[in-house]
Amino acid sequence: MGSELIYRRHENQPVPDTYSPKQPKPWLAVERPVRYLLREQRLLFVLVGMALATLVFTLAPRAPLSPVKSTRPTTSDFTALESLSHRVAFETQPSYSFNPGGKIPLGLKRKGLRIVVTGGAGFVGSHLVDRLIKRGDSVIVVDNFFTGRKENVMHHFGNPRFELIRHDVVEPLLLEVDQIYHLACPASPVHYKFNPCVVWHKTNVVGTLNMLGLAKRVGARFLLTSTSEVYGDPLQHPQVETYWGNVNPIGVRSCYDEGKRTAETLTMDYHRGAGVEVRIARIFNTYGPRMCIDDGRVVSNFVAQALRKEPLTVYGDGKQTRSFQYVSDLVEGLIRLMEGEHVGPFNLGNPGEFTMLELAKVVQETIDPNARIEFRPNTEDDPHKRKPDITRAKEMLGWEPKVALRQGLPLMVKDFRTRVFGDQKEASSVAS
Ligand SMILES: NC(=O)c1ccc[n+]([C@@H]2O[C@H](COP(=O)([O-])OP(=O)(O)OC[C@H]3O[C@@H](n4cnc5c(N)ncnc54)[C@H](O)[C@@H]3O)[C@@H](O)[C@H]2O)c1
């Protein structure tokens, strides 16, 4: 009954005997949209819009690499450091840029990396952390504060991209990260004469093994900060990376020299045997703000002595040579090495060579022309000459130091002055 009520119109239509395919639309069917586009200068508007968009994406400045600014105050030294470093040039150079495809259009952020810096509360580590945070990465500092200080990284507290873990690298640690900068190791002679076996060998051997194990497990890239000390008392001058060195294996300094040599060996073994992506930097003498005061390194010794009106102690005849690199140059080299394609090792140092007496003169000129020089017997195994050949770093990393000793030293002196006299000033202001 219901079905009878349904009106089936098609049943009344005549059914054709033969199948005839649908007629193709004439080409002129596009004529209508074309005419629509041409009407009221619509096409013109579309073209002008496209031209404007192209112009904006081509000429617009890149998005800032550090969208989150630390709420903590930074010292004026940082501003000075920034002006001296050539990071701006680095970040705009396409070959080392993190966006090889071109500029990051406004509004689009570069994806930050997760990076561990062991020894990040120390002198070099804290400057490296500043750069990585500024670039927009998330940084985890792992430090046992043996020679490092919380004050060096305190200005990042409260930044969600910064974490600080008190941990000894001699103990294993599991973290999900993209890169590991392995700096943990006290670097000054004063410290490596203290309990050398436990501290140095364990840190350099067990600590490096642990961090390489972590890199292997999570597939992170690993950078080892080795040292020019692997060349010992060099018989070749200046030192090229292919030189195997002249190290006394049983001397007082050998815990440091041999420890770093073993760390290099382990790094290369993990690279060859386990396919870990590694980088090795051989760092030459570096100076700058946040260096440990009284840590026995020659630049910090002279600066602290001159500020306190004490005689500058020169060991031996003062004719031994060293080269001095400003910390921002080193940080630049470390980042280029990590981001580049070459394993190394690479010498990272300033090839400008100074005798200890010449250095003492520069310190006198900068701080106190009347500062006295006092000679003391030299320490055992003190290298006579040290000067990096940086041809490899120049050619493969496009890196060379920019800051001369006379430019960098005043920045360090400013920081030391605040730390050496800071307490006294506070004490006097409290008293008055
Ligand atoms: N500064 C230089 O002139 C120089 C030269 C050659 C090599 N290096 C290398 O660069 C790296 C950094 O040197 P620096 O001058 O900043 O020294 P530093 O002593 O200021 O920093 C080393 C940091 O590592 C931490 N640390 C030490 N042992 C640790 C452990 N077992 N676990 C966790 N943290 C530990 C210390 O607390 C400190 O914060 C070192 O590996 C050093 O050998 C430095």
The Cα–Cα gap between 90 and 137 comes to 16
Separation CA 111–CA 117 (nearest Å):
19
Residue nearest (by alpha carbon) to ligand 1 atom 28 = 185
- Top-confidence residue, 154 or 32: 154
Closest C-alpha to 264, from 238, 237, 227, 216: 227
Ligand 1 centroid to Cα of residue 133, in Å, is: 19
For 37-46, b/e burial (b = at least 16 CB within 10 A) is eeeeeeeeee
pLDDT digits (tens, 9 = 90+) for 372-403: 888 888 776 677 778 899 999 999 999 999 99
pLDDT of residue 40: 73
Q: Which of 423, 294, 318, 413 is nearest to 363 (CA)?
A: 413
d(CA 331, CA 335): 6
Q: What is the pLDDT of residue 18?
A: 57
Collapsing DSSP states into helix, strand and coil, what is residue 198?
helix
* Res. 62 pLDDT band, cuts 50 70 90: low
Provide the terminal-to-terminal Cα distance of the chain, rounded to the nearest Å. 111
Q: Which amino acid is at 54?
A: T
Task: Answer whether 280 contacts ligand 1 (Cβ < 6 A).
Answer: no
Question: Looking at residue 428, what is its pLDDT?
Answer: 38
- 345 preceded by a cis bond (ω within 30 of 0): yes
Three-class secondary structure assignment of 362-424? HHHHHCCCCCCEEEECCCCCCCCCCCECCHHHHHHHCCCCCCCHHHHHHHHHHHHHHHHHHHH
- pTM of the full structure: 0.74
Q: Which of 96, 256, 287, 326 is catalytic?
A: 256
Residue 209's contacts (CB-CB under 8 Å, 6 or more residues apart) are 266
Strand partners, 280: 224
Q: Which two tokens stand for residue 279?
A: 């980088």
Mean pLDDT, rounded, for 215-237: 93
Q: pLDDT band for position 145 (50/70/90)?
A: very high
Distance 381 CA to ligand 1 centre (A): 21
Residue-wise pLDDT tens digits, 70-112: 333 343 343 344 444 433 333 333 333 334 334 555 556 667 8
pLDDT score recorded for residue 85: 40
CA 147 to ligand 1 center in whole angstroms: 7
pLDDT category of residue 421 using cuts at 50, 70 and 90: confident
pLDDT in tens, 165-205: 999 999 999 999 999 999 999 776 666 566 666 677 889 99
Among protein residues, the one whose CA lies closest to atom 1 of ligand 1: 286
Q: Kindly report which listed range (16-20, 62-66, 256-260) carries the lowest average pLDDT score.
A: 62-66
Asked whether the predicted pLDDT for residue 427 surpasses 70, the reply is no
Q: For residue 324, give every residue at least 6 positions away whose Cβ sits within 8 Å of its Cβ, in sequence order, or none.
A: 285, 286, 287, 299, 350, 352, 354, 359, 405, 408
Task: Supply the pLDDT for residue 402.
Answer: 95
Nearest CA to ligand 1 atom 30: 168
* Bridge pairing between strands 321-323 and 353-355: antiparallel
Q: What angle do CA 287, 203, 176 make, to 5 degrees?
A: 95
| Residue 61 predicted with pLDDT over 70 | no
Tokens representing residue 334 in the block: 């470390």
Predicted confidence (pLDDT) per residue in 331-344, tens digit: 999 999 999 999 99
Centre of ligand 1 to C-alpha 354, Å, is 24
Top-confidence residue, 93 or 301: 301
Q: For residues 122 and 119, what is the distance between their CA atoms, to the nearest angstrom?
A: 6
Whether 256 and 379 have beta carbons less than 8 Å apart is answered as: no
Average pLDDT, the chain: 81
| Residue 96 annotated among the catalytic residues of the structure | no
SS (H, E, C) 214-268: HHHHHCCEEEEEEEHHHHECCCCCCECCCCCCECCCCCCCHHHHHHHHHHHHHHH
Amino acid at 272: R
CB of 119 closer than 6 A to ligand 1? yes
By the 8 A CB rule, do 262 and 204 touch? yes
Cα–Cα distance measured from residue 222 to residue 214, given in angstroms and rounded to the nearest whole number: 9
Q: Which range, of 37-46, 122-131, 185-194, 216-225, averages the lowest pLDDT?
A: 185-194
224 lines ligand 1 (CB under 6 A): no
Structure tokens at 44: 């013109």
pLDDT of residue 76: 39
For the segment 341-368, what is each residue's pLDDT rounded down to a tens digit?
999 999 999 998 889 998 999 899 888 8
Give the angle subtended at the CA of 169 by the CAs of 163 and 171, to the nearest 5°: 110
pLDDT tens sequence across 117-138: 999 999 999 999 999 999 999 9
Ligand 1 neighbour 124 (Cβ under 6 A): yes
